[in-house]
């Protein structure tokens, strides 16, 4: 027989996760609307099944399903747990990407544990977000992607996705460290010194690369260029690979 998903170390990773506005310490929680439809009609949860409910801000609970209706699920809280933020927060400055690769970049980075995402208006970005309705829709899509990816990964926190930033905004950011992924860098991500706490900004450029002017501006602000290996990754996957290395190096996976 397989392991019991309601007990032991898998209790907080195997059950399906659903978002709610607030997670109580006890009592009844009803899933309705989009989450109720997902639970009842897509996941097809059943009475007696244990699920996770979370607020996306660090608090989750194990809850037992007591009733299933049409697009509505009633649960009873069994145990609530709140998770502190990691001492070292990682913010991804992700260059704007055209098409489905934009959502893929956000999805993979979220699953890999990024704490915040900053859409970056790099010079060589093919995609362009205006300040009107189209830009708002693009930002909303990134945020929705992060929310769904966090749910899939059973994360306690949904990464914050900020409005788009320029290279000047990145250079002016008061971070404890800024690492720019660059295939030609002499310093390796495996060897670079990392802060123990605060904020680390990981900068991933567009498919056309970071321009010399951008590299110079970031370098003057204290950013360091690092490479990950002999190969060149797509902008949609580079952050996830780097986050894996940072997770192992910083103890975020401990």
Domain assignment of residue 100, yes or no: yes
The pLDDT score that the predictor gives to residue 44 is: 96
The pLDDT score that the predictor gives to residue 118 is: 98
End residue of a domain, out of 60, 82, 104: 82
Same domain, 145 and 237: yes
Distance CA 249, CA 4 (A): 32
Contact by Cβ (8 Å): 184, 227: yes
> Which CATH number characterizes residue 215's domain?
3.40.1280.10
Return the half-sphere exposure (C-beta side, CA atoms, 13 A cut-off) of residue 12: 13
Domain assignment of residue 6, yes or no: no
Q: Is the dihedral angle over the CA atoms 221, 118, 83, 153 positive or is it negative?
A: negative
Asked whether the predicted pLDDT for residue 189 surpasses 50, the reply is: yes
Domain count, the chain: 2
Distance CA 146, CA 140 (A): 10
8-state DSSP, 103? H
Same domain, 68 and 103: no
Distance CA 163, CA 68 (A): 38
Domain assignment of residue 1, yes or no: no
pLDDT for 193-251, tens place per residue? 999 999 999 999 998 999 999 999 999 999 999 998 887 889 999 999 999 999 999 98
Domain interval for residue 61 = 17-82
Same domain, 76 and 99: no
Mean pLDDT, rounded, for 175-200: 95
Same domain, 137 and 165: yes
Residue showing tokens 């290279």: 167
Same domain, 172 and 243: yes
133-152 and 100-111 helices cross at what angle (nearest 10)? 40
Same domain, 179 and 245: yes
Within a 10 A sphere around the Cβ of 69, how many other Cβ atoms? 11
Contact by Cβ (8 Å): 206, 126: yes
The pLDDT score that the predictor gives to residue 3 is: 42
Domain assignment of residue 176, yes or no: yes
Within a 10 A sphere around the Cβ of 46, how many other Cβ atoms? 10
Same domain, 132 and 77: no
């Amino acid at each position: 027989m397989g392991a019991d998903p309601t007990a032991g170390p898998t209790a907080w990773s195997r059950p399906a996760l659903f978002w709610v506005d607030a997670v109580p310490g006890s009592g009844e929680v009803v899933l309705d609307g989009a989450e109720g439809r997902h639970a009842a009609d897509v996941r097809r949860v059943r009475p007696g099944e244990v699920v996770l409910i979370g607020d996306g801000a660090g608090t989750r609970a194990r809850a037992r399903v007591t009733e299933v209706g049409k697009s509505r699920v009633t649960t009873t809280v069994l145990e609530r747990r709140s998770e502190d933020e990691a001492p070292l927060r990682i913010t991804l400055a992700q260059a704007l990407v055209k098409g489905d690769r934009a959502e893929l970049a956000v999805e993979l980075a979220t699953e890999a544990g990024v704490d915040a995402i900053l859409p970056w208006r790099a010079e060589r970005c093919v995609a362009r977000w205006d300040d009107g309705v189209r830009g708002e829709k693009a930002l909303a899509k990134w945020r929705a992607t992060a929310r769904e990816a966090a749910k899939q990964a059973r994360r306690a926190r949904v990464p914050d996705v900020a409005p788009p930033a320029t290279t000047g905004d990145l250079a002016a950011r008061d971070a404890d460290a800024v690492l720019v992924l660059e295939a030609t860098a002499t310093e390796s991500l495996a060897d670079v010194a990392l802060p123990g706490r605060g904020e680390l900004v990981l900068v991933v450029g567009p498919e056309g690369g970071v321009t010399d002017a951008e590299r110079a501006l970031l370098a003057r602000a204290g950013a360091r260029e690092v490479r990950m290996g002999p190969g060149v990754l797509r902008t949609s996957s580079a952050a996830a690979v780097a986050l894996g290395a940072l997770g192992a190096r910083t103890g975020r996976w401990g």
